[in-house]
Amino acid sequence: MPGGPPLRLPAHRASSATLAGAYPFLVTPSCTTGVLVGTDALTEEPFCFDPWDLYAAGVLTNPNVLLAGVIGQGKSALAKTLALRSIAAGRHVYVPGDPKGEWGPVARAVGGVVVRLGPDSPTRLNPLDVSTTEPTVAHTRRLRLLAALAATALRRDLSAAEHTVLDTALSLATTSSTTATVTVPGVVDALDGPRPEPDGQDLAHGLRRVVRGDLAGMFDGPSTHRLDADAPMLVLDLSALGADDEALELAMVCAAGWLDAALTTASADGGSARRWVIYDEAWRLLRSVPLIRRLQSQWKLSRAYGIANLMVLHRLSDLDAVGAAGSEARALAEGLLADCSTRIVYRQEADQLTATASALGLTRPERDVLAGLPRGVGLWKMPGRSHLVRHHLHADELAIVDTDAAMRGTPHRPQEVA
């Protein structure tokens, strides 16, 4: 102050995370747009989120979201309420694989559709469905799907010779099909043909898993189900597959193929709603390189189709499990993380803090807060802003998202809203 005595107090320094608590008016407003999630744990202001609006406002560079946290912290509860509340705001939600069978009550609560796939279910989805009538494009898409399916089943990349054999077999299956529908059994028959190619033997073995193995009856015929573009929610319930990760990966490759075609057809039919595509338990899928490759190409298209992907993991190192540092697989997994502009981190184990902080560029206070987060509280990290958010559940929502019934010894009877 001119003329006044010099101020001898040392300057007070603190991180913006700490100062945000003392000076809430300096904090980025936490409810500018979107559906209500809960409250900002530092300012007690309401916190809202909508990836499309934030993307349009230039806050997010893409609409995709990563959600990580140790078990039982409320990740699925958050994903489910985001789904429920977004549907109320006119969005649609797809869950392309529900390995625990916990999303059915959510879909039924909003008048959505649950497609149950399993050995005892009459439902079939044809992964070779395509949305185009242009033969060359259809052929390329089917070939890509078949190659991913065979590579997943064989747990290795296909050789150049195998690609050629697969290409020929697909052409044969397409021309010899009496209907316009090409199916995986048709391609296996073509591979087995009167003069089978030696390079096609492994391929036939791999693809046969879908026809005769534990996935028989699910993806080996014309689709019995058409995607209703107006349904607010679609869940593919894969819980009948149990704990077999390999079967789940194969089923997800097939389901992703069907969903791709169904989504593009729905968009072409005028279904213009913006859609969440939610991969709960995504850590179980991240061991399959072909699947990650498919996920990534799907994510690249997300903006073109108005899709926001939400991927649920336990920890960031789930992404490392896919391959050694520097490998193609690892680069693909890191690409998925880079394509998530919003990262929500729930409680992490102490041994994960350093890796999480460096992968997400967390500040020291942000890092330190992660180990002690209670259930339902998460750090929301977006470019240039972060919020500590307490997720609030309404009693009616709690009845739908509850996954603790077995722990309490009470039967799981979700309240179903008509």
Ligand X SMILES: Nc1ncnc2c1ncn2[C@@H]1O[C@H](COP(=O)(O)OP(=O)(O)OP(=O)(O)O)[C@@H](O)[C@H]1O
Backbone angles phi, psi at 175, to 5 degrees: -75, -30
Q: Which of 81, 179, 62 is nearest to 389 (CA)?
A: 81
- Contact call for residue 104 and ligand X (CB under 6 A): no
Q: Which of these segments, 108-116, 205-213, 250-258, 402-410, binds ligand X (CB under 6 A)?
A: 402-410
Six-digit token string for 385: 């802003």
- Binding site partner of 54, from Mg ion, ligand X, none, Cβ cut-off 5-8 A by kind: none
State the nearest-atom distance from the C-beta of 380 to ligand X, in Å: 14
Q: Among candidates 145, 222, 243, 218, which has minimal Cα distance to 177?
A: 222
> CA 211, 217, 221, 226: dihedral to nearest 10 degrees?
-140
> 181 by DSSP, 3-state: which?
coil
Does 74 bind ligand X (CB under 6 A)? Our answer is yes
Query: How many residues at the interface with Mg ion, by CB under 5 A?
Result: 1
- CA 261/CA 42 separation, integer angstroms: 44
- Which residue type does 60 have? L
Applying CB under 6 A, the site for ligand X has a residue count of 17
The reply to whether 402 sits near ligand X by the rule CB under 6 A is: yes
* 352 part of the interface to Mg ion, by CB under 5 A: no
| Options 31, 246, 403, 417; binder of ligand X; rule CB under 6 A | 403
Residue 86, token pair as written in the block: 């977004």
Per CB under 6 A, the list member of 51, 153, 401, 414 interacting with ligand X is 401
Site string for ligand X, 298-337 (x = CB under 6 A): ----------------------------------------
* Minimal distance, residue 395 CB to ligand X, in Å: 10
Task: Give me the least distance between CB of 235 and ligand X, in Å please.
Answer: 16
The answer for residues whose C-beta is within 8 angstroms of residue 16's C-beta and 6 or more apart is 26, 363
By CB under 6 A, residue 393 contacts ligand X: yes
Residue 73: contacted member of Mg ion, ligand X, none (CB under 5 to 8 Å, by partner type)? ligand X
Place of tokens 């039967």: 411
Is residue 415 left, alpha or beta, with left meaning phi > 0 and alpha meaning psi from -120 to 50? beta
Angle (CA) 305 310 315, round 5° = 150
User: Is residue 76 close enough to count as binding ligand X by CB under 6 A?
Assistant: yes
Q: What is the DSSP string of 78-94?
A: HHHHHHHHHHHTT-EEE
Stretch that binds Mg ion, among 38-46, 70-78, 355-363, 364-372 (CB under 5 A): 70-78
Min dist CB 18 to ligand X, Å, is 24
Query: Which amino acid is it at 252?
Result: M
Cα–Cα dist 233/94, whole Å: 6
Cβ atoms of residues 305 and 275 within 8 Å? yes
Binders in 75-134 for Mg ion, by CB under 5 A: 76
Q: Closer CB to ligand X, residue 52 or residue 283?
A: 283
Q: Give min distance, CB of 281 to ligand X, in A.
A: 7
| DSSP E strand stretches across 321-407 | 342-345, 377-382, 385-391
**Distance in Å, CB of 413 to Mg ion, minimum:** 19
Which of these segments, 179-187, 265-273, 347-355, 399-407, binds ligand X (CB under 6 A)? 399-407
Binding partner of 77, given Mg ion, ligand X, none, CB within 5-8 angstroms per partner class: ligand X
Q: Can you give the binding site for ligand X, defined by CB under 6 A? A: 69, 71-77, 375-376, 391, 393, 398, 401-404
